[in-house]
Amino acid sequence: MAKRKILIFPNASLRRKAERVVKITDRTRKLAEDMLETMYDAPGIGLAGPQVGVMQRIFVMDCSPKDGDADPRVFIDPELVWESDEVEKREEGCLSFPGQFADVFRPAKVVATFLDIDGDPKEEEFEGIHARCVQHEIDHLNGKLFIDHVSLVKRQLIKRKLAKEMQERRERK
């Protein structure tokens, strides 16, 4: 396994739409392993291809409680096929926006179809933090980011704070 570099906003790759995987190869399996390692190291609960500069429709996720067993999951060519009318507010962060958080409203439950790492088609309902993460990651595959779901004022604030934070990091080096 190998850790990959996580791209930080405003990297242009984060705004591009990723392409379908369709054929799962050894490279896909290696990518998934690398993405899981990168996500755990960060640490985060999800990571999408575009965040490591791979413009493919793949994401990894582990929303298991910290004191429980790990639950590494790989989603390929995921599609949201249902979302609840009920929405829920949750605080979101993103590994491409280190240190930034905002309340985001999204459907409380969703159903997604996807291929697992063996290429087997799956359909699954998600709720709670899992539903939140699945939606956040599928957004990444479409070049959409959590700041697109917040007010203009909050969005500008996050962009400014992130730029400042990254500048300070550069100066510390």
Catalytic residues: 137
Rounded Cα–Cα distance for residues 48 and 39 (Å) = 9
**Which residue intervals of the chain are DSSP H helices?**
26-41, 128-141, 152-172
The reply on whether position 147 binds ligand GNR by CB under 6 A is no
Q: Which residue is nearest to ligand GNR (CB)?
A: 44
94 binding Ni ion? (CB under 5 A): yes
Task: Pull the structure tokens for residue 171.
Answer: 């100066």
Beta strands 87-93 and 101-107: pairing type?
A: antiparallel
Token representation of residue 66: 């910290």
In whole angstroms, how close is the CB of 65 to ligand GNR at the nearest point? 14
Q: Does 138 bind ligand GNR (CB under 6 A)?
A: no
* Stretch binding ligand GNR (CB under 6 A), from 46-54, 77-85, 105-113, 164-172: 46-54
d(CA 113, CA 103): 26
CA distance 67 to 3: 24
Q: Which is nearer to Ni ion, 94 or 141 (CB)?
A: 94
Contact set for ligand GNR, span 79-108 (CB under 6 A): 92-96
Looking up tokens 């755990």, which residue turns up?
A: 40
Give the nearest distance from C-beta 129 to ligand GNR in angstroms: 7
Q: Is 102 in the site for Ni ion (CB under 5 A)?
A: no
Number of residues that bind Ni ion (CB under 5 A): 1
Which of 140, 141, 150, 158 binds ligand GNR (CB under 6 A)? It is 140
User: Applying CB under 6 A, does 136 fall inside the site for ligand GNR?
Assistant: yes
| Residue carrying structure tokens 């409380």 | 108
